[in-house]
Amino acid sequence: MLTLYGCLRSRASRNAWLLHEAGLDFRHVPVIQAYRLADPEAPDAPLHTRSPDFLAVNPNGHIPSLVDDGLVLHESLAINLYLARRHGGALGPADAAEDGLMGMWSLWAATEVEPHSIEILYNRVGKPPAERDAAKAEAAVAALRNPVAVLDRALAESSFLVGGRFTVADINVAEVMRYALPAPELFTDAPRVKAWMEACHARPAFRRMMADREREPA
């Protein structure tokens, strides 16, 4: 029995997408970020990241978490690597070399891309207009130029990142790079990244996740 904790307007989107790709049944507990609630202490507040019931699952107080038959895992990208390896068939590695490359791309997304892509998201669309910092978004765009070029070159060799087929590496990198889409100027010189993102987002499993996400409270 698989249980995914975390609303889909969070990094849990990555896990829901992969679970749909793998055709896995799961229970979804839509824990919300505490900072999004006006009064997290209110008796009718929904389950959130500072609720004692959720902190008992993940003491980090962050979403998502996954429980698989008693095994508790946090960190969205690690959860996807685990799910792909254990339950994901061809989404996971065929051998140790592929496993290494899937881990590399996932850590690359976390360290080379996400600190910048999240600033683009926050400062171009996420925050209320008065709180956005245009200079921070610009700095993030500048910092992402080389990572986007690296990704574009990798996609020149194959339409997918590892093993010549769609895998967890594509999901993990595409989900982190999605936060940079409010900076379209990043992708004009990276036609392969653009085409790859569009192909990722045309997949039925991604569209199903996004449709579920749209139905969640804003």
Summarize as ranges the residues that interact with a copy of itself (CB under 8 A): 59-62, 71, 73-75, 77-79, 81-82, 85-86, 96-97, 99-101, 103-104, 106-108, 110-112, 114-115, 146-147, 149-150, 153
Torsion angles phi and psi, residue 198, rounded to 5: -65, -40
Q: Which is nearer to a copy of itself, 107 or 195 (CB)?
A: 107
Q: Which of 11, 20, 1 is nearest to 203 (CA)?
A: 20
Q: How far is the CB of 195 from a copy of itself (least distance, A)?
A: 20
Q: Which is nearer to a copy of itself, 101 or 210 (CB)?
A: 101
Q: How far is the CB of 94 from a copy of itself (least distance, A)?
A: 13
Q: Which is nearer to a copy of itself, 94 or 211 (CB)?
A: 94
Q: Which of 64, 80, 76, 75 is nearest to 28 (CA)?
A: 64
Find the helix packing angle between 191-201 and 134-157, rounded to 10°.
90
**Cα separations (Å) of 188 from 7, 79, 104, 183?**
32, 32, 26, 10
Q: How far is the CB of 182 from a copy of itself (least distance, A)?
A: 22
Residue 151 structure tokens = 């990704």
Q: Which is nearer to a copy of itself, 21 or 114 (CB)?
A: 114
SS3 assignment, position 121: helix
Cα–Cα distance for residue pair 159/175, rounded to 1 Å: 17
Q: Which is nearer to a copy of itself, 165 or 208 (CB)?
A: 165
- Cis status of the peptide bond prior to 128, with omega within 30 of 0: no
Q: How far is the CB of 13 from a copy of itself (least distance, A)?
A: 16
Q: How far is the CB of 117 from a copy of itself (least distance, A)?
A: 13
